[in-house]
Amino acid sequence: MAFKRFITLITKIKKAEIKLTDITDAIRPQFKTKFTPRLLGHAGRLQGWADPSDQDVISIWNRTFPDYALSTSDLQDKEMVLVVTKLAQDKVDTWRNKIGNRGIVAWLAVFHKQLTEEIATDVAFFLDGTDQLRNFYYCEIIEPEDEEEADQIQAGTPGNFSKNNWTDRVDFSQGVPQRIPNTSAIANVVKKLKSSHWTKIIDAARTAAAAAKHRDEAAEPAAIDVDAEPIEEDFDLVDNDSDA
């Protein structure tokens, strides 16, 4: 039968030694491009941390590769089924690990903006439930697509930093051109900064921005109450309009 040729097997194969190259070159690329997306789509609809059953995996396999169909009840297919189910489980595990790693990054971004007490409350809520039904399994965090993660700082007071003073320029002294490397000098310093330096810079910038915001709020004039009674003045306005 056709499916007998799709796996390069010796007489007996050990589960720990199974690898993708055990599938013949003829359908190996489709294992990634066709079979794996269908498999992960099925796994994503299961209860938290539940694995697809061997029967489900083989069913997806047979729909993807009908010419290489297998049966879990056929002893002749036993080792071939083992290869497919082992490779499928590897794909599911790798997929879950990537979700977990990305989830850690996303939650750190959320917690970074919270107070310690808020984090403790949220963590207690998210971890409530069983291993199969934790609350955080169903929490959604939407991040801008194709946007690099940045440590945001509130806008401070605009400074006088125009294009004119952000460029290397040339001055002439006694007819001799001299290059003034304003931009290059700053850029070279910035390139040498390490993560520890940026942490200090960001902390200082946040403090300065918060202080500037506080000053701006304190300087705002009081709101005018349009419904208040008119204030009686102790003087009269003189009308000097000559046309009156």
Structure tokens of 131? 């291993």
Sign of CA dihedral 193, 199, 203, 205: positive
CB 83 within 8 A of CB 18: yes
Q: Specify the range with the lowest mean pLDDT, choosing from 58-62, 117-121, 207-211, 223-227.
A: 223-227
Does residue 67 have a pLDDT over 60? yes
Three-state SS string over 197-224 comes to: HHHHHHHHHHHHHHHHHHHHHHHCCCCC
- Supply the pTM of this predicted model: 0.48
Domain boundaries, the chain: 2-111, 165-215
Strands 169-173, 176-180: pairing kind: antiparallel
Q: How far is CA 180 from CA 40, 42, 167, 174, 228, in A?
A: 59, 63, 9, 15, 60
pLDDT of 47 reads 74
Tens digits of residue pLDDT in 3-41: 444 555 445 778 888 999 888 889 999 999 999 999 999
Tens digits of residue pLDDT in 173-221: 666 677 777 677 777 787 888 888 888 888 888 888 888 777 766 665 5
pLDDT of 3 reads 45
- Ramachandran angles phi, psi of 161, nearest 5°: -130, 75
Structure tokens of 225? 């109450």
Average model confidence (pLDDT) across the chain: 75
